[in-house]
Structures are given as C-alpha cells and as structure tokens.
Amino acid sequence: MLIDEIKVMHKAGKHVNIVSLLRVAYPETKIKYLITGGLIRDEDSFYLMELCSNGSLESMLKRFLQPSSDTSEKKLSLYETLAKQKQQGMTVAEANDSCILTEDDLILIGYQVACGVDYLNRRQIAHCDIAARNVLVSSRFTMKICDFGLATWTTYKNYREQLAQNDSVQIQKKHNEIATHNLTPELARAILRAS
C-alpha cells in the first residue's frame, strides 16, 4: 500500500499545496526486486516528505476554536499577523495566543485546499479522502494535502471532457476501500459505474 502511495505522490509532482515527496529509499538488498518487478513489503521502504510543523488542519482548527482567556486586546487575523512578520513562521500555539482566525482566514484556507485539489485534478488524480485530518499546515500556515493512500487516477487525459461527453469518468481501481463520504458526486457515480 505504501508503494502505491509513493507512486501517486510521484505522479502528483510538486505544488505549493501538496506535501512534497523528497526522497524514497529502499534497503540495498531490495533494489534488485524493484528493478525486476518483485514484491516488496511496505515496511522495507522509507520515504521522506517535507516537514509541516503545525500538524493537521483538523488539530489547528480545534485549537483555534477553544475559547481564548485574553479577550481584552484586539487581535489581528492569522494571515495579517503572518504578513507583518519578518520571521520564518510560528507555531499554532503562538498563533493562537497572538491572533484570531477570521472568516477571511477560513476562506484563504479553503482556497489553498481547493488549489491543491484542482492541481491534483489537472494531473488526473482523485485523492478520494480529502478531509481536515489529511491537510497539513506548514510553519507559514500554508495548507498542504497529504495521505494519498486511497488516491486513484483517471485513465483519460482530460476527465472533465470525458465527464461532459457521457456523464462518467473511467478511473483505475487501486483499492477496494474508498471513503465515499468524501467523494465528489461525479467521482462517486464513476466508481459505482466501474464496479
């Protein structure tokens, strides 16, 4: 399963709102099996991804939704605070103490996730498990989609054209388990028709 996830991450490439796959490593004795197409257990491989030091979007939102003890001073929004800073970034704890999460911040967070999903769609990849737990937050509060364990990809170059022509999309099945509660209606219909 890890090998499939690595393949999808490699196909996805680099984007500001996708967690980058930096390196993939296999023990030296296992490389010959990769070349010859042999089986490799997931525990025999290692992969290095970029660090997103602020954890998941889910944990960040939970932290910001906790009532603040200091309501006397007016706090700036999260992204206004980041724009005024000259340093590299801050932790969620520091942000929670010094700023608030406004509606504009939430719109920007949603926009960043949507940009990542749009990029994956242009690469013909269906993530199939977009949720706050699968979006990581960098030190500059850039949202990055991760966890490609359930991801699949379409077999046609432009699945939007395919969908417009005959209201269905052909996708490659990789897993039997798909989180259908997070699928778009178009992909859910395509998966039902393919099975």
For the chain, domain boundaries: 52-194
Q: Which tens digit of pLDDT belongs to each residue from 22-81?
A: 887 766 555 445 444 545 555 566 777 888 988 999 999 988 876 665 555 677 788 888
Tell me the C-alpha distance between 174 and 1, whole Å: 9
SS3 110: helix
- Nearest Cα to 109, choosing from 64, 49, 50? 64
Residue 154 structure tokens: 């379409």
Beta strands in the chain (DSSP E): 21-25, 46-49, 76-77, 99-100, 125-126, 135-137, 143-145, 152-153
Name the fold adopted by 52-194. Answer: Transferase(Phosphotransferase); domain 1 (1.10.510)
pTM for this structure? 0.70
Q: How confident is the model at residue 158 (pLDDT cuts 50, 70, 90)?
A: low
